[in-house]
Structure 1
Amino acid sequence: MLILVLSYGTPFEPRNFNRRFVDRSAGAGVRRIRLHDTRHTCGSLLAALDVHPRVAMQILRHSKIAVTMEVYTHVPSESTRRALRKLGKHLGKQDRK
């Protein structure tokens, strides 16, 4: 089991950890998401980078590969990526008018 601790060795209170995450997200100017959603982002990035699913499973600390692949991994197909690039170019043109 992994436990986060403060610099003087006591456990990090989960609510305080969540508050710090919210504060740092706001300070970085990124939209607010739930802390748990960062696990989905990590899983999707690992899959997009072609990290082997078993390695992703270990990083995300899942006991079953199905959880990693079916719940935490969201990777668009190449055709989806092409469509999104096309959409992005089109939207970029709209901004210039």
Structure 2
Amino acid sequence: MFTTRYRTPIEPRNFNRSFADRTSKAGIRRIRLHDTRHTCGSLLAALDVHPRIAMQILRHSKIAVTMEIYTHVPSEATRKALRRLGKHLGKQDRK
């Protein structure tokens, strides 16, 4: 749950609007907020995070939901690219 500065729950439409505004300002492709859950699941799989841990992070009650809907298992080429990306992003932090 996300809250306002007054610690009241954020209305879902307002949160979605804020997410869309931030992606626009960042200059990245607009996606649905819900799609970030799929991205998270796929990244966890690419990082060899145990499926039960991924299930807990994504707050699913059934492992099948995590594995069949939210996780897209990457190929070795994808894993290699993610490692390269991680190294590159790590260099950006040091500048």
Query: Given residue 5 of structure 2, which amino acid in structure 1 is its aligned partner?
Result: S
- Looking at structure 2, the residues matched to 9 and 76 of structure 1 have their Cα atoms a distance apart, in angstroms, of 39
The 5 A counterparts of 1:1-97 are: 3-78=1-76, 81=77
**Matched residue pairs, number?**
79
**What percentage of aligned pairs have identical amino acids?**
77
Query: Given residue 10 of structure 2, which amino acid in structure 1 is its aligned partner?
Result: F
Using structure 2 for the length normalisation, give the TM-score.
Answer: 0.78
Using structure 1 for the length normalisation, give the TM-score.
Answer: 0.76
Shift of 1:7: 1.7
- Looking at structure 2, the residues matched to 7 and 75 of structure 1 have their Cα atoms a distance apart, in angstroms, of 38
List structure 1 segments (4+ residues) > 4 angstroms apart after TM superposition: none
Deviations 1:39-63 (A, max 9, x none): 0000000110111111100000000
Coordinate RMSD, CA, aligned: 1.4
- Looking at structure 2, the residues matched to 32 and 50 of structure 1 have their Cα atoms a distance apart, in angstroms, of 28
Shift of 1:75: 2.0
Shift of 1:37: 0.3
Query: Given residue 62 of structure 2, which amino acid in structure 1 is its aligned partner?
Result: K
Query: Given residue 27 of structure 1, which amino acid in structure 2 is its aligned partner?
Result: K
Query: Given residue 72 of structure 2, which amino acid in structure 1 is its aligned partner?
Result: H
- Looking at structure 2, the residues matched to 51 and 7 of structure 1 have their Cα atoms a distance apart, in angstroms, of 34
Q: Secondary structure of 1:71's match?
A: helix
Shift of 1:18: 0.1
Contact 2:45 2:74 in 1 (8 A): no
